[in-house]
């Protein structure tokens, strides 16, 4: 690893203690290896490895173009604890997304639509399907509108399940695909300008800590997301830095 890569990885730390490191993943960086042969967040975790010890372990993933909170464990027991907690649905995730055109109808609710995986060439897609489809996987997402106008809306999204591309497909299924999501029909131009990337940000993660209690970690909005909100005249109140980490 280069010194520049080490410094970049360390600049993404939102919270660290003896058991975990929580990072603010930038958009454009894959969580783990895929078809694209480039450095991934998993590779860059070597920046935090102690001499003679393994690097921290990723507990979950974010899509390449999604920014925000991602959790790692420093030890094997901590990773096992967190992995089991995630499987037991003890993690609570909150995302912010820009959708278009305008606010969804109704402006909040639950999307309970099973999904199935479909391969087209080397690409994998998720599709809404009937519950009795042989490949159907249960998928539930909650959403609520935070700000809107006739062009676009800022929504908060909370997945109850963790299917691939779940939030993206679910919002597309109700006619409000995420801005910048070329795979699932999202707008590529909004407010008179190009959408820079998939407008999805993992804003908050609440989870049980391996050493007891819970932590709630908040990642600030990245500059490209803020700029898009400003261009669309959509307002949001962000938490201050002192509120970024809570013990609950």
Exactly one of 63, 65, 181, 224 is catalytic; name it.
63
CA torsion 161-163-166-169 (nearest 10°) is -130
DSSP character string of 21-89? EEEEEPTT--SS--SS-S--HHHHGGGGPPTTSPPPEE-S---TT-EEEEEEESSHHHHHHHHHHHHTT
Paired strand residues for 157 = 95, 143
Q: How far apart are CA 83 and CA 88, in angstroms?
A: 9
Q: Of 222, 176, 179, give the one whose Cα is nearest residue 199.
A: 179
Known catalytic residue: 17? Answer: no
Helices (H), the chain: 3-11, 41-44, 76-87, 166-173, 223-232
| Catalytic machinery residues | 63
């Amino acid at each position: 690893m280069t010194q520049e890569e080490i410094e970049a990885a360390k600049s993404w730390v939102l919270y660290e203690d003896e058991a975990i490191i929580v990072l603010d993943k930038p958009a454009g960086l894959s969580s783990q290896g895929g078809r694209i042969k480039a450095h991934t967040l998993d590779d860059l975790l070597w920046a935090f490895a102690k001499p003679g010890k393994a690097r921290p372990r990723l507990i979950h993933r974010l899509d390449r173009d999604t920014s925000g909170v991602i959790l790692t464990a420093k030890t094997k027991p901590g990773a096992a604890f967190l992995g089991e907690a995630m499987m037991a649905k003890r993690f609570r995730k909150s995302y912010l997304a820009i959708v278009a055109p305008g606010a969804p109808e109704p402006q909040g609710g639950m999307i309970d639509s099973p999904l199935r995986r479909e391969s087209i060439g080397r690409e994998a897609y998720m599709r809404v399907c009937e519950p009795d489809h042989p490949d159907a996987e249960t998928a539930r997402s909650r959403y609520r509108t935070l700000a809107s106008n006739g062009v676009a809306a800022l929504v908060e999204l909370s997945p109850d399940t963790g299917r691939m591309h779940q939030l993206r497909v679910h919002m597309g299924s109700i006619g409000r695909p995420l801005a910048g999501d070329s795979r699932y029909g999202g707008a590529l131009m909004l407010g008179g300008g190009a959408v820079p990337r998939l407008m999805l940000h993992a804003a908050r993660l609440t989870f049980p800590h391996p050493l007891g209690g819970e932590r709630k970690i908040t990642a600030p909005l990245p500059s490209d997301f803020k700029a898009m909100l400003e261009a669309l005249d959509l307002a949001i109140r962000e938490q201050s830095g002192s509120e970024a980490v809570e013990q609950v």
